[in-house]
């Protein structure tokens, strides 16, 4: 199974990346043959911006978009900026094909300086991935700074979320596993008959013939 | 193989001087560019059609008729004619009229335009863009081939016993290209009719162009017009040249950095690597252009964008001199050298008329037999 971690952390090392790695490791412990690939959005930031201005992705971004599209499951992790996901995180999913995540299991996770932002998972990330028709695992994982030194359940939440993602990855067949071709053909006979119905009088003419 | 110029007709300030040409200056400059194209031995001049500033060419057949009167050889074309928002009846009539005035030196390229609001401005629904292109062209195709047309469709008043006038010159409709960047439906449409397919690849990486052209070629064969290699393909190109490539880069960079469409985005270096843009010596332009056929196959028409982003007319005319004197003669020779037998030239009025007469002879013989 192919698992892709999308991390929008900016610092090196990054607690966002760390949370993504811990979640991926927890999935790997539960299932055999998990192939993990990490997409670091920091490395793609310039290509993402250029995709908006050029209209096509650069090579590294194209490879990342293909990896995400072809994954059996995703772990997506963002730092909280201004009470939501970061702009870079959103921008990556803005340039992803709108059908790429249909039916795909996605584990949502976020990091922040304080636990007061933990509901960002529910009011920002979950609606975004619901819109993209992903299957979002019930447990989202939020890690505040204090969680990294605490004992109040980050490890449990990581395990629970990873278990849910693993089950979904084993049980679900995402609708689009392969990157969609941009040149799929509709036969011309079908193109000729697409669109709104003929005006009423035109139907009469067709019947009269 | 045909070589030519296509222009968007943008009125853009020259970023090095801050000066913006007037509409009159820009329109006259487009004419001067067309005349220069003929002077240096190019084959085609094509103008865009736009209905919003900063673009000026809203009335292509007016401009092309004016150019036709001042040229002898140049084929006059469009890039593109909006098949979605123009009435197909008016397109049929305007271009047939131009055919007569220009003695057949006319073809055109259908397109859907790239400006969303143009649909409502002309009373159309943008959500029907592809369907408009399909239905309107089906009608246009008939209007040029049938003297009397009865027709009903989804998007236009029905026609009963309608004859578009004048009839196409010598009974031969202008050759049609279908231009598209992203829509496989348009490649399919071009293939269905056996028309030409123009991929305006200038802002796109080669692998995307390759997939679109391959689709068109395969579907052209599917509909029985010939082999995939015989399909009629056109490509765009965008160049800026100076004898010394470093001079070209230095002079073009401010225009690139401030250009409409891609300005303030990618670096000149990235864009030249990923798209057909070539900024350098004539030899570099030759090498890059010759490489197009590696992914698009042997093709029929190469149009270059030379005059956008606020480049002054004097510079553009120098560029076209370089193109005509140093680049195109070599391209003609090299493309011809590697060209397999059986790959046709781009259709012209002369070749279409000859084919029509041959077909008529065959029909007459069959009747006699």
Low-confidence ranges of chain A (pLDDT < 50): 202-209
In this prediction, the answer to ipTM > 0.85 reads no
List for chain A the helix, strand, coil content (%; round to 5). 50, 20, 35
What b/e string do you get for B195-209 counting C-beta neighbours within 10 Å, with b at 16 or more? bbbbbbbbbbbbebb
Does any CB of chain A come closer than 8 Å to the CB of residue B361?
A: no
Cβ(B309)–Cβ(B12) below 8 Å: yes
pLDDT at residue B317, rounded to an integer:
98
The Cα B237–Cα B292 span in angstroms is 10
User: What's the DSSP call for residue B326?
Assistant: I
Q: Least CB-CB distance to A53: which of B215, B223, B265?
A: B265
pLDDT at residue A175, rounded to an integer:
57
Which chain B residue is nearest to residue A54, measuring alpha carbons? Answer: B262
pLDDT at residue B220, rounded to an integer:
97
CATH at residue B246: 3.20.20.30
Residue numbers of the domain that contains A167: 2-184
- For residue A194, being part of any structural domain is answered with no
**What values do phi and psi take at B2, rounded to 5?**
-100, 140
**Chain pair A-B, CB pairs under 8 angstroms:** 83
Distances in Å between the alpha carbon of A78 and those of A41, A150, B16, B293?
A: 10, 21, 43, 44
pLDDT at residue A179, rounded to an integer:
62
pLDDT at residue B261, rounded to an integer:
75
- For residue A156, being part of any structural domain is answered with yes
Residue numbers of the domain that contains B63: 2-368
Provide the domain count of chain B: 1
The Cα A77–Cα B156 span in angstroms is 52
What pTM value is reported for the model?
A: 0.84
Provide the domain count of chain A: 1
Task: Tell me which chain B residues have a C-beta less than 8 angstroms from the C-beta of A205.
Answer: 152
Which chain B residue is nearest to residue A59, measuring alpha carbons? Answer: B274
Q: Least CB-CB distance to B188: which of A50, A188, A202?
A: A188
User: What's the DSSP call for residue B50?
Assistant: -
Do the chains contact at A54 and B271, CB–CB below 8 Å? yes
User: Residues 219..258 of B with a Cβ closer than 8 Å to A: which?
Assistant: 219, 223
Q: Least CB-CB distance to B188: which of A52, A191, A199?
A: A191
- For residue A199, being part of any structural domain is answered with no
The Cα A171–Cα B136 span in angstroms is 48
Chain A: give the shortest CA distance to residue B175, in Å.
20
pLDDT at residue A103, rounded to an integer:
95
Low-confidence ranges of chain B (pLDDT < 50): none
Convert the pLDDT of each residue in B147-201 to its tens digit: 999 999 999 999 999 999 999 999 999 999 999 888 899 999 999 999 999 998 8
CATH at residue A24: 3.40.50.360
Would you state the structure tokens that stand for residue A109, as one six-digit string?
């996770």
pLDDT at residue A195, rounded to an integer:
76
Q: What residues have CB less than 8 Å from A207, skipping those under 6 apart?
A: none
- For residue A12, being part of any structural domain is answered with yes
- For residue A162, being part of any structural domain is answered with yes
pLDDT at residue B359, rounded to an integer:
85
Q: B109: which strand partners?
A: B177
């Amino acid at each position: 199974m192919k698992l892709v971690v999308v991390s929008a952390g900016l610092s090196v090392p990054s607690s966002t990346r760390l949370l993504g790695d811990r979640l991926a490791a927890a999935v790997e412990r539960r299932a055999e043959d998990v192939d993990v690939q990490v997409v670091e959005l920091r490395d793609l930031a310039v290509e993402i911006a250029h995709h908006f201005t050029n209209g096509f992705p650069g090579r590294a971004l194209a490879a990342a978009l293909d990896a995400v599209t072809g994954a059996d499951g995703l772990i997506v992790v963002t730092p909280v900026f201004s009470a939501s996901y970061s702009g870079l995180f959103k921008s990556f999913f803005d340039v992803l094909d709108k059908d790429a995540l249909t039916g795909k299991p996605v584990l949502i996770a976020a990091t922040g300086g304080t636990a007061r932002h933990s509901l960002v998972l529910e009011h920002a990330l979950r609606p975004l991935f619901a819109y993209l028709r992903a299957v979002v695992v019930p447990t989202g994982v939020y890690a505040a700074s204090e969680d990294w030194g605490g004992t109040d359940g980050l490890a449990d939440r990581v395990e629970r979320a990873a278990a849910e993602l693993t089950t979904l990855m084993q049980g679900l067949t995402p609708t689009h596993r392969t990157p969609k071709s941009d040149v799929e053909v509709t036969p011309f006979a079908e193109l000729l008959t697409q669109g709104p119905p003929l005006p009423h009088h035109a139907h009469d003419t067709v019947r009269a013939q | 193989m045909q070589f030519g110029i296509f222009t968007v007709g943008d009125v853009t300030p020259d970023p090095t001087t801050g000066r913006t040409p007037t509409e009159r200056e820009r329109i006259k400059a487009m004419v001067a560019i067309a005349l220069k194209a003929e002077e240096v031995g190019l084959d085609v001049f094509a103008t865009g059609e736009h209905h919003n500033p900063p673009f000026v060419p809203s009335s292509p057949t007016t401009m092309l008729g004016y150019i036709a009167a001042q040229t002898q050889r140049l084929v006059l074309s469009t890039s593109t004619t909006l098949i979605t928002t123009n009435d197909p009846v008016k397109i049929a009539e305007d271009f047939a009229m131009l055919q007569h005035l220009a003695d057949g030196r006319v073809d055109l390229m259908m397109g859907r335009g790239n400006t969303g609001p143009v649909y409502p401005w002309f009373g159309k629904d943008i959500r029907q863009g592809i369907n408009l292109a399909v239905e309107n062209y089906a009608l246009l195709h008939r209007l040029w081939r049938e003297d009397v047309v009865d027709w009903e469709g989804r998007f236009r008043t029905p026609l009963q016993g309608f004859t578009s006038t004048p009839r196409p010159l010598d009974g031969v409709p202008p050759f049609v290209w279908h231009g598209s960047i992203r829509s496989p439906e348009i490649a399919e449409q071009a293939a269905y009719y056996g028309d030409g397919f123009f991929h305006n690849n200038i802002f796109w990486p080669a692998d995307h162009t390759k997939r679109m052209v391959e689709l068109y070629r395969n579907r052209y064969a599917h509909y029985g017009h010939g082999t995939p290699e015989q399909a009629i393909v056109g490509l765009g190109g965008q160049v800026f040249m100076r004898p010394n490539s470093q001079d070209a880069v230095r002079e073009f960079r401010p225009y690139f950095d401030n250009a409409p469409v891609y300005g303030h985005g990618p670096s000149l270096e990235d864009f030249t690597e990923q798209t057909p843009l070539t900024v350098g010596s004539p030899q570099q332009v030759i090498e890059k252009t010759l490489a197009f056929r590696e992914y698009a196959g042997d093709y029929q028409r190469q149009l270059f964008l030379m005059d956008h982003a606020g480049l002054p007319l004097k510079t553009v005319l120098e560029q076209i001199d370089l193109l005509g004197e140093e680049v195109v003669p070599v391209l003609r020779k090299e493309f011809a050298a590697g060209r397999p037998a059986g790959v046709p030239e781009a259709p012209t009025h002369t070749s279409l008329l000859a084919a029509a007469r041959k077909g008529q002879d065959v029909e007459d013989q069959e009747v006699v037999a």
